Amino acid sequence: MDVVSQPAAPGPRKLSRAARRVQLIEATIEVLAERGYARATLSDVAKTAGLSHGLVNFHFQSKELLLAETLAYLSDEYRESWTQALADAGTDPARQLDALLRADFSPQLFTPSRLAAWVAFWGEAQSRPLYQEKCGAKDDDYAERKQAICAALIASGGYCGDAARISRALRLVTEGVWMDLVIMEHPYSREEGLATVHCAAAAFFPRHFNEHGLLA
C-alpha cells in the first residue's frame, strides 16, 4: 500500500514573527533564571533558543528592549491568569479570595524559571523604572481588587480588621514564598507554598479558610 506523506511541520525557520518573539522571550526567562538581570546577554538568549545572535538582534535591537518585552510578557501572562481565575470564582468573596491565592501557584505560572525571572526583575535597582512602567498600573489594579474582596469578606463574614492591611499581608506572604523557592537550597513544594499562604488567610478569616484552602 502506498503511504501518502504528510507535510512536514514547520521547522524553526518557518515560525511567524510573533511566534519567534515568544520563543526568544521564553529563552530570556530561562537566561534570567540562570544568570540574573545584570549578567544576561543577547548571546546567552541566542544560545538558549538555539538561534543566531543576528536573529535575536533582528527581533530585539538591544538587551534593554528584550528585557522590557519579557517583563511585559510576564506581566500580561500573570494578569490574564488572575483575572480569569476571578471570573471563574463567581461573586462569593471567600471563593474570589481563594481563586486569587491559587492563581499565584498555578502550575503554568509557578515554575522555577518564571519565579526566578520575577525575582531578577524585583532585585535589580536598574530595573525598577522599567518595572513601574510595565507593571505599576497592573499591580495597582490587582491590589485594589484584592482589597475590595477582603473588605467584602470582612463585612459578610463578621470579621474585624483593615482590608488594605490584610490584603497587603497576604500579598507579602505570597511574594515571600516565591522568593523562598528561588533562594533556598532545598525549596519546598508548590503545594506547601500554597498551604503557607492559606495559613495566612486562615489567620484573618478562620471561619472560611484553613491550611488546605477554602472551608466548605
Contact 80, 141 (CB under 8 A): no
> Reduced to 3 states, what is the DSSP secondary structure of residue 191?
helix
**pLDDT value at 190 more than 70:** yes
Contacts of 33 (CB under 8 A, 6+ apart): 112, 113, 114, 115, 116, 117, 120
- Identify whether 98 is part of a domain: yes
- Identify whether 27 is part of a domain: no
pLDDT at 13: 55
Contact 73, 25 (CB under 8 A): yes
pLDDT at 123: 83
If pLDDT is split at 50, 70 and 90, which confidence band does 5 have? very low
**Rounded Cα distance, 47 and 125, in Å:** 27
Longest dimension (CA), the chain: 77
- Identify whether 65 is part of a domain: no
Contacts of 178 (CB under 8 A, 6+ apart): 104, 115, 118, 119, 193
Residue 214 bridge partners (DSSP): 209
Mean pLDDT score of the chain: 90
> Reduced to 3 states, what is the DSSP secondary structure of residue 3?
coil
What's the residue count for the chain?
216
If pLDDT is split at 50, 70 and 90, which confidence band does 45 have? very high
56: its cell numbers: 535575536
Angle subtended at Cα 24 by Cα 191 and Cα 183, rounded to the nearest 5 degrees? 35
Read off the pLDDT of each residue in 133-155 and give the average, rounded to a whole number. Answer: 96
Read off the pLDDT of each residue in 129-145 and give the average, rounded to a whole number. Answer: 92
* CATH number, domain containing residue 89: 1.10.357.10
Contacts of 156 (CB under 8 A, 6+ apart): 93
In this predicted model, what pLDDT tens digit does every residue of 173-184 receive, in sequence order?
999 999 999 999
pTM, full prediction: 0.86
- Identify whether 58 is part of a domain: no
Tally of CB atoms within 10 A around 215? 13
- Identify whether 188 is part of a domain: yes
Contact 86, 145 (CB under 8 A): yes
Which structural domain, as residue segments, surrounds residue 183?
71-214
**pLDDT value at 8 more than 70:** no
Contact 18, 102 (CB under 8 A): no
- Identify whether 199 is part of a domain: yes
- Identify whether 52 is part of a domain: no
- Identify whether 104 is part of a domain: yes
If pLDDT is split at 50, 70 and 90, which confidence band does 164 have? very high
First to last CA, the chain: 60
Number of folded domains that form the chain? 1
Contacts of 40 (CB under 8 A, 6+ apart): 28, 31, 32, 63, 67
